[in-house]
Chain A
Amino acid sequence: MRRVLSAVLAGLCSSVAAEPLADMQGAWSGSGWARETPEGPKEAVRCRMENTYESNVLTVSGRCVAAGQKLALAGEIKGKAASEQITGHWFNPDGLGFVRISGVRRGAVIAFTFAAIHPETGVDIAQNVEWRVGGQGLRLRASDRTDPRITMSDIAFTR
């Protein structure tokens, strides 16, 4: 019996570890904070996403709101078969616009980077982004690429 349970748990763990993109599908609600520029103030945000996964592609669709601001989110993250590499794009019509992303998936985590210039201030806001999925939670953290000690956003999602 113990062996059976161990086998099931191992299977579950391996499935999470094998394909984090698949585990990120579904409806998610999140709250946390974000800032627009590395020097900018932290702002409370709440987000809602409806992700779908098909043929190794995670399609992200949702919205985030900060007080007095709404942001639409849309993106596509593709995983390559038998590879840790991921690529895709991110589209935020209210802010960054269209940006390409590239990174890796490893265990329960996907990590990618993107390069962007803030449309209003012209500040370089290239970021390292990490999505970590586990159980019923998903955590999104981003840091400044120039100075990774500066966290740009930290949002915890639940289903």
Chain B
Amino acid sequence: MSLGIGFGAERLGLAAIRWPKTASALLFALITLIAASLPQLRFDDDIHRVFLTDSPVSQAQIAYRDAQSPPTSTVLAYIKADQAFSAAQLTRLRDVTLDLEFLDGVIAVASPFALRFTPSADAAKGTPVFSAEILNNYGADIAAFRDLGTGLPTFINEERTAILIAIRVNLEHAEIADSLPVIKAEFATLPEGLSVVFTGEEVISLEIVAGLKDDLIALNLWGALLVCFAALVLLRDVRMVVLAAVPALLGAASVLALSVWLGYPINVLSNVIPILLLVLGVADGVHLAGHLKASGKGARAAVMRIGPACALTALTTSLAFACIMLTRNAQLFEFAVLGALGTLLAFGVMITAFALLALVIRPSARAAPQFASAFAVRLAETGLCWPRGVVLGALALLLLSGIGYQQTKAWFPLYQNLPQGSETVHVNDAIAKDFGGVFQMIIEVEQDWASTAVLVAQLTRIAGPEAVLSQVGIARWLGHEARPSPADLSTVPANLIAQLSPSQSVDRIFISVPEPMRDAAAFELFDRLQNAALEGGATRVFGLPSVMRHEAVRLISQLSFSLVLAALGASLIVALAFGSLRLFPLLLVPNVLPLMVTGASLHVWAAGQLSPTAVLALTIAFGIAIDDTVHFLNRFYHARGHGETASGAVRSAAHSAGQVMVLTTVLLSFGLAVTMLSDFFPIRLFGGMMIVTLWAALVFDLLLLPALLGKRESVDA
């Protein structure tokens, strides 16, 4: 027995129809399991994982983090004053920094109050720059410290209106989520005129995760409501809405549960999978319910007739996800596995639930809205009437949009993953302006002292004063030009020396930099620093900025490769499913074109930036775009099988499948429109790109497929 275009997957629905009691019991058990699993959903709070691959930069970063014992993180408190700090304000701030040292888990606190002048006979550790009683002329002491020419950070800006306090915490003692509120409490009673904002790598992660949790709940809830509402308005048939929406909702919920079963935390990327599968499920549900309504032949006929196409669309979408597995990125791999398996699971749940519901619910006899059918038929007629013009126009558009897509720039800024209106984005910019930046670029050198000193001087020229922390600066502070001896360094905190000189042969240079992809200037600054480091003999350049700068581009390149594979693979599967390899090139054009158009549209609404999210959206969108083609071809070949001419079969497919394609595109657009409410730009971008792709896919499928299929008839004749 032939498996058909759905490779037999629709038999799941047929089995449910044959053994409804058993299927109902199994489905109920699964729903119970899903409901029990949802409270255990986890959210990823490690921003490093988004970027890390198996490249040398990533490996250096992983090795550096693993070598930190205990694991630590730095919380940055940025304190801003309306005008130059008064002595009284500074006295209070110093008390705060001292009190922070009492907190369990706080390893060290760096602030202007920790600054000391060069050690002397009377002051073995150096006289504090801020005396026990801070006077209003403290600026002279800071200037005197700067005059030492050490280049070491002073943590107070030139205007004396901003102070940076770096609090290093032991992550073994407590997670940042637990220690941050305790740290914040110490700043609760700041003097009037002062404000504080907290940032740092883990603090940013925490903020992203907190926003993500709210977003996930809101998106899925509103997405489901919006799809149901739109379905109700469009279809004007409550029973049909139930048939289309309930199975899809169960399918989407099953993906969330799957993430629990697989042990994968939800992150900024996988957040969109449930809503994506919800809209896909609704699309399939509308196709199935539409056939049930139009044919009046019952559940079995609907599953047998439309189920294979739904199964094939699930397979192509699953394949699109699976292609992402080729990227060597842990988080993307999980995204791909969750998406690929989730699509199949959601299909299984959807087709079973639909089959069972269709046994007891019959859509009303009221006709479906005709605007969708009219729109589809008009487009198909245009394709049939002017096949050459449509094909040539499509090819020209493919060329133009392909060039536009090629002009996009690989770009993955972290700040865009912060919720909209986040104070952190602004404070990170302020820290970049006043203190170099929030992120630490790490340069390791294994060379003589003189060469390292030259390199530090060069890096300081590029990064700006007080942005570079090195043992060369410490030596200058000690009054040495040569490498300081261990005895010389005894007055310097041991943990600082351990960071700057991890072994006898290795020196580390830390540079405070802004996020490399914050803007073009930050990007150029990073590249200049990195080039200077490598030209100056650096052995390794790593740190989160390096990972963000390089891995993002590598990631996008790998994702683009996955996109090509998804396009080729999905087209091949569909061609094989319909038993004609000649379909393969015919499938590529109408399905690649929407991708290119959407990719090129990034110039209009995303400054031409091609982020991993954008490529992911394109990859998944291809899977969805080809769904329309599958449903169209399914009806086309069915009509051909019943003796219709090619143009007659096109008209038949446009009338039946086209109508549902338009309706589902409208419904999917409503469902995806909910992403516009997201606080996260990547999710809004993802949703927006999907909507553009869906409409482009619809238009090109209804224009181009008739033109190409109609041409086949003339060629055949």
Q: Select the stretch in B76-84, B98-106, B379-387, B573-581 that faces chain A.
A: B98-106
- Contact assessment for B98 and A41 in the assembled complex, using a CB-CB cutoff below 8 Å: no
B493 at the binding interface (Cβ < 8 Å) = yes
State the 7 A-B residue pairs at the shortest beta-carbon distance, nearest first: A42-B132, A68-B114, A33-B132, A65-B101, A39-B122, A46-B98, A41-B127
- Contact assessment for B123 and A120 in the assembled complex, using a CB-CB cutoff below 8 Å: no
Contacts A33-B132, A67-B113, A68-B493 given; does A46 touch B122 at CB 8 Å: no
Could you say which interface size class chain A belongs to? 20 to 34
Within 8 A of B (CB), among A81-95: none
Report the separation of the CA atoms of residues A68 and B108 in the bound assembly, to the nearest whole angstrom.
7
**Inter-chain contacts of A66 with B (CB < 8 A):** 98, 128
Report the separation of the CA atoms of residues A31 and B99 in the bound assembly, to the nearest whole angstrom.
10
- Contact assessment for A46 and B132 in the assembled complex, using a CB-CB cutoff below 8 Å: no
Report the separation of the CA atoms of residues A43 and B124 in the bound assembly, to the nearest whole angstrom.
13
Report the separation of the CA atoms of residues A54 and B113 in the bound assembly, to the nearest whole angstrom.
39
Name 6 A/B residue pairs within 8 A (Cβ), A-sorted: A31-B95, A43-B132, A67-B114, A68-B114, A70-B101, A121-B124
Please report B residues at the A interface, Cβ cutoff 8 Å: 94-95, 97-99, 101-102, 108-111, 113-116, 121-125, 127-128, 130-133, 490-491, 493
Report the separation of the CA atoms of residues A39 and B124 in the bound assembly, to the nearest whole angstrom.
11
Residue of A nearest to B128 (CB): A43
- A39-80 vs B, Cβ < 8 Å mask (1 yes, 0 no): 111111110100000000000000101111110000000000
- Contact assessment for A44 and B94 in the assembled complex, using a CB-CB cutoff below 8 Å: yes
A25 at the binding interface (Cβ < 8 Å) = no
Q: Which of B98, B110, B121 contacts A44 (CB 8 A)?
A: B98
Report the separation of the CA atoms of residues A39 and B493 in the bound assembly, to the nearest whole angstrom.
23
Residue of B nearest to A154 (CB): B132
**Inter-chain contacts of B115 with A (CB < 8 A):** 67
- Contact assessment for B490 and A120 in the assembled complex, using a CB-CB cutoff below 8 Å: yes
Contacts A40-B122, A68-B114 given; does A45 touch B98 at CB 8 Å: yes
Residue of B nearest to A31 (CB): B95
Among B99, B109, B124, B133: residue with most chain A CB under 10 A: B124
Nearest CB of B to A43, in Å: 6
Please report A residues at the B interface, Cβ cutoff 8 Å: 31, 33, 36-37, 39-46, 48, 63, 65-70, 118, 120-121
Q: Which of A41, A45, A69, A70 contacts B123 (CB 8 A)?
A: A41
- Contact assessment for B124 and A36 in the assembled complex, using a CB-CB cutoff below 8 Å: yes
The dominant DSSP class at the B interface is mixed
- Contact assessment for B99 and A46 in the assembled complex, using a CB-CB cutoff below 8 Å: yes
Report the separation of the CA atoms of residues A40 and B102 in the bound assembly, to the nearest whole angstrom.
24
**Inter-chain contacts of B491 with A (CB < 8 A):** 120
- Contact assessment for B131 and A41 in the assembled complex, using a CB-CB cutoff below 8 Å: yes
**Inter-chain contacts of B132 with A (CB < 8 A):** 33, 41-44
Nearest CB of B to A157, in Å: 14
- Contact assessment for B95 and A42 in the assembled complex, using a CB-CB cutoff below 8 Å: no
Report the separation of the CA atoms of residues A36 and B113 in the bound assembly, to the nearest whole angstrom.
17
**Inter-chain contacts of B490 with A (CB < 8 A):** 120
Nearest CB of A to B127, in Å: 4
**Inter-chain contacts of A46 with B (CB < 8 A):** 95, 98-99, 102
**Inter-chain contacts of B109 with A (CB < 8 A):** 68
Report the separation of the CA atoms of residues A45 and B132 in the bound assembly, to the nearest whole angstrom.
8
- Contact assessment for B128 and A67 in the assembled complex, using a CB-CB cutoff below 8 Å: yes
**Inter-chain contacts of A40 with B (CB < 8 A):** 122-124
Nearest CB of B to A53, in Å: 23
Report the separation of the CA atoms of residues A67 and B493 in the bound assembly, to the nearest whole angstrom.
11
Report the separation of the CA atoms of residues A40 and B120 in the bound assembly, to the nearest whole angstrom.
9
- Contact assessment for A67 and B95 in the assembled complex, using a CB-CB cutoff below 8 Å: no
Report the separation of the CA atoms of residues A42 and B493 in the bound assembly, to the nearest whole angstrom.
20
Nearest CB of A to B671, in Å: 56
Residue of B nearest to A62 (CB): B102
- Contact assessment for A65 and B102 in the assembled complex, using a CB-CB cutoff below 8 Å: yes
Report the separation of the CA atoms of residues A70 and B125 in the bound assembly, to the nearest whole angstrom.
13
Nearest CB of B to A125, in Å: 12
- Contact assessment for A42 and B114 in the assembled complex, using a CB-CB cutoff below 8 Å: no
Among A44, A68, A69, A70: residue with most chain B CB under 10 A: A68
Report the separation of the CA atoms of residues A70 and B127 in the bound assembly, to the nearest whole angstrom.
16
**Inter-chain contacts of A44 with B (CB < 8 A):** 94, 98, 113, 128, 130, 132
Report the separation of the CA atoms of residues A118 and B102 in the bound assembly, to the nearest whole angstrom.
25
Report the separation of the CA atoms of residues A41 and B95 in the bound assembly, to the nearest whole angstrom.
18
Report the separation of the CA atoms of residues A31 and B97 in the bound assembly, to the nearest whole angstrom.
13
Among A33, A36, A44, A63: residue with most chain B CB under 10 A: A44
If A36-B125, A68-B110 are given as contacts, then 19 extra A-B residue pairs at C-beta distance below 8 Å, sorted by A number, are A31-B98, A33-B132, A39-B121, A40-B124, A41-B123, A41-B131, A43-B132, A44-B98, A44-B113, A44-B128, A45-B98, A46-B95, A46-B98, A46-B99, A66-B128, A67-B97, A68-B109, A120-B124, A120-B491
